[in-house]
Chain A
Amino acid sequence: MSGAVTTPRSRRQARGRYGRVSQVVTEIDERLGVARGGRTFLDKIFPDHWSFMLGEIVLYSFVVLLVTGVFLSLYYVPSSTVVTYHGSYLPLDGMPMSQAYASTVNLSFAVRAGLLMRQMHHWAADIFIGSMVVHMARVFFTGAFRKPRELNWTIGVTLLTLAIVNGFLGYSLPDDLVSGTGIRIAYSILLSIPVIGTYLAFWIFGGNFPGTVILERFFILHVLIVPLVMLGLVGAHLALLVRQKHTQFPGEGRREDNVVGSPMFPVFMAKTTGFLLIVTGVIALLGGFAQINPIWQFGPYEASRISYAVQPDWYMAFLDGALRIFPSWSFHSFGHTIPLEVTIPAVVLPGLLFGLAYAWPALERRVTKDDAIHHLLDRPSDRPRRTAAGAAVLALLAMLFVASSTDVIANFFHVSLNTVLWAMRVLVLVSPFVAYPIAYRIAKEMHQLHGAGRRKTPNVVTRTDEGEYRAEPAPAFGDDAEEPLAPTPVPDFIEAEPPAPPSRGTRAVER
C-alpha cells in the first residue's frame, strides 16, 4: 500500500490543486450540485453606472428597516389600554396614555440605544421610499421597464405602494397626538368611498372610530403581513434581475447581446458590501444627530385634541396637499352623499397616479409599436416625449407636496392663506403643462447636441501671424490619456506571474 505513510505534503496533494477550498466545494457539490451554477454566479457581470446604485440604497435601507424594526418590536406594546405614565421622561409623569404611547416613550428613553434604533428606523423608512422614487425615476427615464422587464416594473410599483402603506401604518403605531389625527383622517377617507366605504371602515377599524383594535391590527400588518409580502416581492425583483441580467447604457463594446461591467466576485461584492455599510452608517449618523418624530413632545392621542401646523411624512404629503386645495364639492342626491371633496383627492387621484404607473409599459408599447427586446438603455434625451411625460407627473407631485404646507407657507411669508391656497391650486393645475414642453425642448436640444453627456474637451484657440484665429480641440486630458480597455471575458484562470529572474550569486534549486 502506497498510502500507508501520510506526510503533510501527501495530504496536500490529495486535497487537489486548491487545497481545503476544493475539499469544501466537493463536499457541498456532492450533495447539492452547486459548482457549475456557483461559478457562473461568481462570474456574473454587473454593469457600472452611478445610477444603478439607487436600487442598492433601497435594498440596504430595507435591510436597516428589518433589523431596527425587529429591535423595536421587542419593546413596543400594541395596546390602547390606558395606563398612567411613570417613566424617566418627567414632563409626561402621571399622565394617562395608551400603552402603545407609553411603551414608545419608554423605548426611546429607558431602553439602551432605543432612541437611536427608533430614529434610525424612521430615517430608514423615509430614505427607503425616497430612494425608491428616485430609482423608479431612473428606470422610467432610461426605458429600463421595456420588454422584457415589464413584470419587474409592475413588482416595483407594487413595492412602492406597499412601502407607502407600511410607512403610514408604522408612524401611526406610537399613538401620539399627531399620528392619531392621521389615523382619524384615514378613517374618514375610507368612509368617503361610495357604497362600500362605511363597511370597509367598520371592518378595518372593528367599529366606529377609534374602536379598540386598530393599534393591534396596524401592528400585525406593519410588522408581519406587509413586510412579508414585500420581502417576497423584493426577492422576486432581484431574482428577475439575475435571470434577465442588468440593463446597460450603450457605449464602447456594449451591445444588446452582452453585459459589460465588473464580476460579482470579488469586485462587485466588495463595492456593494461597502455600500451597505455606508448606507447603514449614514442612517445611523442621521439617527444619532437628526431628531425625527419626537412623539414625547406631541403628547398622547386624544380624539378631541389637535395639534397645529402638522404634516404627514413626506411620502404621504402629496395626498394631504390634494386634500387641502381641492374645493368643497360634495355630491348629495337620491338620498346619498358622495364626499367628492375627499374621494377625488384621496382615492381617485392616487388610484389614477398608480394606475398610470402600472399601465405605462403597455401604454408606451401601444404608442411606439415597439415590440422588440431591449437591454440597452435610452438616454432621457433619446425619448423626448417619455421624458416630458415623466417630468410633468413629477412636477404635479412636487406641487401637491408643496400644497401640503399651505398654512406654514402663509405664516412664514406673511401672506394670506387664501392667496396661498389659490396660488397652489393654479400651480398644481398648470405645472404639468409647463413642465412638459420645457422638458421636451431640453430633451430635443440635448439630443441634437453633439457629444452631450460626454466629458468635454477644451478647444485651443491660436492666433496666426496674420491675425487669423483658429480653434482646434485640445488633445485629451492627461487623465484621459490612458486608452479605455476593450472588455474581456472573466478569465477562467489567471496565469501566475513569471518567476523573477534569480539574482546573481544565488542558485535556483529545483526539487
Chain B
Amino acid sequence: MSEHRTPVSLRGLPADDPHLQGAARRPQLVERVLALSLLVGLALVVAFGACYWTNAAPWTLGATMGGGLFFLGVGLVGWGKYLMARGPFVEERHPLASTPEERDALAAALVERGGTLVKRRRVLGGLVGGGLGAFGIVALFPLLRSLGPLPKGTLFHTDWRAGSFAVDQTGRRIHVDDLAVGSVVTVFPEGTQNTDRGQAVDQTILIRISNEDFVTEPGRATWGPQGYIAYSKLCTHLGCPVGLYEQQLELLVCPCHQSMFNATNGAIPEFGPAPRPLPQLPLYIDAQGYVRAQSDYHQPVGPGFWERS
C-alpha cells in the first residue's frame, strides 16, 4: 500500500508545479552564493561581538554589525526571492462592506435604542453631557495652566536698571579704556552674567566707534558717550544672538537668517527678514570711567509678539 495517497481536496498543487519552484534559473549556484553571503554575515556578527569585547574603535563596531546584518539580510532576501515558491499566488478580495440589512440593523439599534431610551430622559442626558463637558474644560487648567506662568509684563523688561554696570561674561566691569575703537564685546547687567535669563534676555552688544560724539538717532544724544553704543543682542527676527560685527561697513549680522543691522544708524535692519531695529541701551560713563546703563531698554527686546505695541 502506497504512502503517497492523494488527499481528497480541491486545492492542492503537485510538488513539481512550476508555481512552487524557485525563480532561480541555476538554483545550485544561487544557493552557493546565498550560503556565502550568510556565512560572511555570520562571521561579521561574531566579529562584532569580538570588537565589542575588546572595546575596539567605534567604526569597527559599525562595520562589523552593519556588514553582518547586511549580509545576513541579503542571504535571507535572496532565499525568499530566488529559491522559494515563485508563484504568483492569488487570493480573493472580498468586499469589506456588510449587507444593507446588517447596516440597517446597526443604524436601527443606534437610532431606536438611543432615541427611545435617551431622549426620554433629556435631563439626565443633558446632565451627563454637561458634567463631562465641564470636566473637559476644567481639566484644561491643570493640563495647561500649571505648565507655566502667565507672560504678564515679563517680555517687556530686561534686568538693565538705571546705573547697572556693564560686565563681560566673566563678570569684569567694562571700563572706558577697555575697548579698542572698532571692537565689540557682549555685556550683561552686573550680577546676571552667569544666569540663564541674563544670557538669554539681557545680552547686549557694546561697540566702540571712532566718532566720540556720535548720535545714532534724534533724541538719543546722550546715549552713546565717548563712542560707546550698546544694542540688544537679540535679533528682532527670531531672537538669535546677533553675533557678528562687520567692522568696515559697521554692520551687525545675525548668522541664523542673515539679518543685518546698521550699527551707526540706530541699528535699523539693512538686509534680511528682521523687521525692526535692535533696541538701543542708553549708556553713561561714571566718574571712575565705568560704562553703565542710564535705564532699561525703552522697548521690548527680541522677536515680535502679539502684545507688543
Q: Is A399 an interface position by the 8 A CB rule?
A: no
B273 touches A327 (CB 8 A): yes
Measured in the bound complex, the distance between the Cα atoms of B85 and A302 in whole Å is 61
| B149 → chain A closest CB, angstroms | 6
The number of A-B residue pairs with CB atoms under 8 Å apart is 342
B303 touches A188 (CB 8 A): yes
| A496 → chain B closest CB, angstroms | 5
Nearest chain A residue, comparing its CB with the CB of B12? A493
Which stretch from B74-82, B99-107, B124-132, B284-292 is at the chain A interface? Answer: B74-82
Q: Is A284 an interface position by the 8 A CB rule?
A: yes
Chain B residues with Cβ below 8 Å from A276 are 73
Nearest chain B residue, comparing its CB with the CB of A47? B88
- How many residues belonging to A are interface residues under a CB distance threshold of 8 Å? 122
Q: Is A328 an interface position by the 8 A CB rule?
A: yes
Q: Is A101 an interface position by the 8 A CB rule?
A: no
Interface size band for B: 35 or more
Tell me the dominant secondary structure on chain A's binding face: mixed
Given the contacts A492-B12, A493-B9, A262 and B258 also touching, CB distance less than 8 Å: no
Q: Which of A48, A119, A306 contacts B255 (CB 8 A)?
A: A306
A277 touches B9 (CB 8 A): no
Question: Per-residue 0/1 for B266-309: is the Cβ within 8 Å of any A Cβ (1 yes, 0 no)?
Answer: 00010111111000000000000000000000000011111111
Nearest chain A residue, comparing its CB with the CB of B304? A339
Question: Per-residue 0/1 for B35-48: is the Cβ within 8 Å of any A Cβ (1 yes, 0 no)?
Answer: 00000000000000
Given the contacts A324-B273, A328-B274, A495-B14, A257 and B73 also touching, CB distance less than 8 Å: no
Chain B residues with Cβ below 8 Å from A505 are none
B61 touches A288 (CB 8 A): yes
Chain B residues with Cβ below 8 Å from A375 are 93
A328 touches B87 (CB 8 A): no
B67 touches A281 (CB 8 A): yes
Chain A residues with Cβ below 8 Å from B76 are 270-271, 273-274, 277
A494 touches B90 (CB 8 A): no
Q: Is B1 an interface position by the 8 A CB rule?
A: yes
Report A's interface with B, CB cutoff 8 A.
43-45, 48, 80, 112-113, 115-116, 119-120, 148, 181, 184-185, 187-189, 191-199, 201-212, 243-245, 253, 256-263, 266-271, 273-289, 302-310, 320, 323-330, 332, 335-339, 341-342, 373, 375, 406-407, 417-418, 421, 485, 487-499, 510
Report B's interface with A, CB cutoff 8 A.
1-4, 6-7, 9, 11-20, 52, 55, 58-63, 65-81, 84-93, 95-96, 144-145, 147-151, 154-155, 169, 186, 188, 196-197, 199-201, 203, 233, 237-241, 243-244, 254-259, 269, 271-276, 302-309
